[in-house]
Structure 1
């Protein structure tokens, strides 16, 4: 199979690098905050047999530079970036959109503000912690992460953040030995380079976002909420489960945990295909 077509799109305050594969209705894949278009390498080609698959590096990440590297980030602006790609690649027809983690938050916001441009949205573990009844604990976590980043640096802040995402803030045991596909292992260096921006800009902006739950309820027939089957009890799982119950919707379970897209790409891609057909 030939490689993707690569383009650059000028948006407000940034240039987005995007990739396009395949033919058919547009399927836009929005990555999480510490990943870029490459995080979809394991599923994009297979999905391109059925869709025009567009992936991109969100503003400030990887190969999508900001005009002002110090610019504050907002969910609304990231969602507008996704809309610009939809308008570019599918001007006459609504698109299907998949987002994971912070990308799922951008997808939720886009659904609430421009539903006519979206056929269906699959949101995988959007960490919209503001909907949770124990939100004060999660606000305190974000404050600790920010303070640790300022006073101790990146890796201590990441440790605080990671501990807060575990089941009940569990003390971590030995790291799980997961054999990543070669492409995923090769992305590690770029992911590490993006971590300061992710922890310092994306995490505080996105995890303080308050979704319009009433609007999502009105649009629930276009929304699929999904979680990792191994994520139960962890913080990224809980908002999607809460929203599914509030909206009276089925909560779909995908293989793996929060990064199941990377650890189980074949099974993940097949379930994603089914979610858009249903």
Structure 2
């Protein structure tokens, strides 16, 4: 949005943007992403989401150790183990790959009048989206701004893995006021 329409966005806060291209192990991240897609295609939403959670919670680069792990059991995440036959989940399908395959144009982003803030959750250290946030900030020649909680830190307890929405909102207001 900023690269295409630089005059239409005043401030962009990109909270843990999942962009493979900014990772030193971009090929490994793409392979890990293909793994959760394949699990979804073969066994359904529960298997795909379990593999997605395993990918996004992995600490560090996607190494041979990551790929040697057995497939996670969906039940351990409270996911269904039966395949309902649907394959329309946008996160687990290839429709989400446009986001993870995005190749940022640092020169255009830096030339835009838009203030770009790349944020990372304090509890996310070492995970896929924390690494992409740090990589994206580095591409722009800056540090990622730390926010409370994790990737979904703005969410309350209604969504399973509660964040710290009040603290997150306070930090967001601070960042926007700078």
TM-score band by shorter chain is 0.7 to 0.9
Does residue 67 of structure 2 align to residue 167 of structure 1?
no
Alignment match of 2:147 (pick from 251, 254, 270): 254
Q: Does 1:207 align with 2:100?
A: yes
State the superposition RMSD in angstroms: 2.6
Give the aligned partner of residue 241 of structure 1: 134
Once the two structures are TM-superposed, the CA of residue 270 in structure 1 deviates from its matched residue by: 1.0
1:142 aligns to 2:42 (yes or no): no
Q: 1:211: Cα distance to partner?
A: 1.8
Per-residue deviation, 1:116: 0.5
1:103-182 equivalences in 2 (<5 Å) = 110-165=1-56, 166-168=58-60
1:196 pairs, out of 85, 89, 92, with 89
Is there any run of 5+ residues in structure 2 with no aligned partner, and where? 78-85, 156-162
Pair 1:220–1:134, CA change in 2 (3 A): farther
Aligned mates of 2:120, 2:140 — CA distance in 1: 15
Cα displacement (A) at 1:201: 4.3
- Give the 5 Å matches for 1:211-230: 211-219=104-112, 222-230=115-123
Give per-residue Cα distances to partners, 1:252-273, cap 9 Å, x unaligned: 1111111101121111111111
Q: Secondary structure at the match of 2:104?
A: coil
Say if 1:141 and 1:164, in contact at 8 Å, map to a contact too: yes
Is the 1:220–1:247 contact (alpha carbons within 8 Å) kept by the matching residues of 2? no
Unpaired segments of 5 or more residues in structure 1?
1-109, 177-192
Structure 2 Cα separation of the partners of residues 223 and 207 of structure 1:
18
Q: Deviations over 1:24-77 (max 9, x none)?
A: xxxxxxxxxxxxxxxxxxxxxxxxxxxxxxxxxxxxxxxxxxxxxxxxxxxxxx
Instruction: Provide the residue aligned with 1:277 in structure 2.
Output: 177
The CA deviation string for residues 171-202 of structure 1, in whole angstroms up to 9 with x for no partner, is 78xx89xxxxxxxxxxxxxxxx9x82321144
By percentage of residues, which structure has more strand?
1
What is the TM-score with the length of structure 2 in the denominator? 0.75
Q: How many residues align?
A: 151
Deviations 1:128-148 (A, max 9, x none): 112212111011112222221
- Work out which structure has the larger RCO, using CA pairs closer than 8 Å and 6 or more positions apart in sequence: 2
Partners in 2 of 1:251 and 1:205 — Cα distance? 23
